[in-house]
Chain A
Amino acid sequence: MPELILKPGTLKELWLLPPAPGGSRKYLAGGTDLVSGSNAGMDASQVWVDISDIKELKGIRETKNSLIIGSGVKISELSGSGLISRWLPALRSAIPHFASPSLRNMATIGGNAATASPCADGVCALCAERADVWLELGGKKRKIALQNFFSGPKKTVLRRDELITAFEVPKWKHAGVYLKLGPRAYFGIAKASVAVALELDGEKVRSASITLASVSPVPLMAVKTANYLKGRVLNYDNARTAAALVKTEVSPITDARSEAAYRREMSGVLLERALNSVILTGRMSQVAG
């Protein structure tokens, strides 16, 4: 545990705090990664900054063209949000797969990104939803595409002391789904998972975003497969071809949770199931524009 936890009430107060000794600040939000890491002896930092009561990081709001999701929004708050239900079907579909009910009451969507786990459910879905992420350092803000935020397992492009403040997700008419393969039905870490967001024009795919987790060092945007689907009719044959194609895009490893060959094969299976589910139900449930 750290010797000291600082607790600013606002972003302005946060940026007035002195630098942390010996490295970048450790921000405490939901605590599900930071405190468990500390309990396991994997965090030696002396000072944490508790950002869990900073009001500017909370809430989900709507602008003309996008949703703004504060980085401090809990996963369970996402599941209760009418805006998320209406506009972000892939993210909505990922939430029941995210850890356990009590951890969903604690974990924040900002922490899900900051941890940069290759198997993170929330940010995998947000990448397919074409989210950008807002970062802030000393009052200076910048926005980047979420897919470019990750630089490796547990690594991000965050600068020293930089904070994730929000996600900006475009409102676009699309169907979406998230499928996860874990060791059990719920509360498992993914062997492979896939998030699909499809903009449909009748039976044709106008545009597609496909993101996979646990099968590459960072959430993987399957660009070749998405491009293959673009302009094509969404049917079972094309879903099968897309599934074969996505297996050439993933770069899984063998580790304690699964084997590379199985993960590659299941990436195709999950994508085919996801596309088939959109064929069966998604055209009707495509979000209202």
Chain B
Amino acid sequence: MTEKNKKITHRAKFSLKCFVNGEKVERDLDSSRSLIEFIRLDLGLKGTKEGCGEGECGACLVLVDGKAVNSCLMMAIQLQGKRLITIEGLKGRDGGLHPLQKTFMEEGAVQCGFCTPGLIIASEALLRENPDATVEDIKRGLTGNLCRCTGYEKVVSAVRKAQKLS
């Protein structure tokens, strides 16, 4: 076992090195820190929400190495060497709002707004994999995101509209 691994494996603290929204980040953390705690409490990025803590609601979605994951079910130690994008890191090509952020506003795809960051991250992950997603593909792609205000139709229209802008 290398000296580096001994440090990681036998101490309660570990040194996390990763990229957050394009910036290199290094932090000493408790090994028991969850990813959502790291995002909200250590980085102060409050756009990512914790809803259920069970992976059911999707409010906590972030992108890790380009894939949508539930940050409430991932530990910070699993982010070692990876690239994290939170809702704060999604930007348009001009550095302004991302097309999905624009179309969610234009279509009124927001009611209380708690689920919105997760829905936008899930939509971004979906469109990266399948830019020509149909309405059915979009509905399937967003099955892991619950909106308690139940405003799904406008969300689907916002994603359809963003496809045309991208």
Contact = CB atoms under 8 A, between A and B. Distances in A.
Contacts of A236: none
A65 interface: no
Interface stretch (B19-27, B88-96, B139-147, B150-158): B139-147
Given A40-B54, A101-B125, A187-B144, A5 B69 contact: no
Interface stretch (A27-35, A158-166, A196-204, A214-222): A27-35
Interface residues of A, number: 34
Contacts, number: 107
Contacts of A8: 1, 5, 9
A36 B144 contact: no
Nearest to A16: B1
Interface string B43-62: 00000000001110010010
Given A4-B12, A36-B54, A101-B144, A106 B5 contact: no
B81 to A, nearest CB: 8
Contact of B69 (A3, A16, A105): A105
Contact of A76 (B67, B140, B145): B67
Contact of B78 (A4, A31, A36): A31
B73 A28 contact: no
A6 interface: yes
Contact of A7 (B58, B73, B77): B77
Given A1-B34, A103-B144, A40 B53 contact: yes
Interface residues of B, number: 35
Interface string A1-43: 1111111110001001100000000001011100110011000
A226 B122 CA distance: 41
A136 interface: no
A155 to B, nearest CB: 22
Grouping DSSP codes into helix (H, G, I), strand (E, B) and loop, the B interface class, with mixed when no group exceeds half, is mixed
A101 B12 contact: no
A105 B67 contact: yes
Given A35-B73, A187-B144, A103 B5 contact: no
B144 A99 contact: yes
B55 A36 contact: yes
Given A1-B34, A3-B32, A7-B8, A35 B143 contact: no
Contact of B5 (A9, A35, A99, A187): A9
B74 interface: yes
A53 B9 contact: no
B73 A5 contact: no
13 contacts: A7-B14, A7-B31, A16-B1, A39-B54, A39-B73, A40-B54, A100-B58, A100-B144, A100-B145, A101-B68, A103-B73, A105-B69, A187-B143
For the complex of A and B, 7 pairs with smallest distance between CB atoms: A100-B144, A39-B53, A5-B31, A187-B143, A102-B68, A105-B67, A186-B143
Interface of B: 1-2, 5, 8-10, 12, 14, 31-32, 34, 53-55, 58, 61, 67-70, 72-75, 77-78, 80, 122, 125-126, 140-141, 143-145
Interface of A: 1-9, 13, 16-17, 28, 30-32, 35-36, 39-40, 50, 52-53, 76, 96, 99-103, 105-106, 186-187
Given A28-B78, A102-B55, 20 more contacts: A3-B32, A5-B77, A7-B5, A31-B73, A31-B74, A36-B55, A36-B72, A36-B73, A39-B54, A40-B53, A53-B80, A96-B140, A100-B145, A101-B125, A102-B58, A102-B61, A103-B144, A105-B68, A106-B74, A186-B143
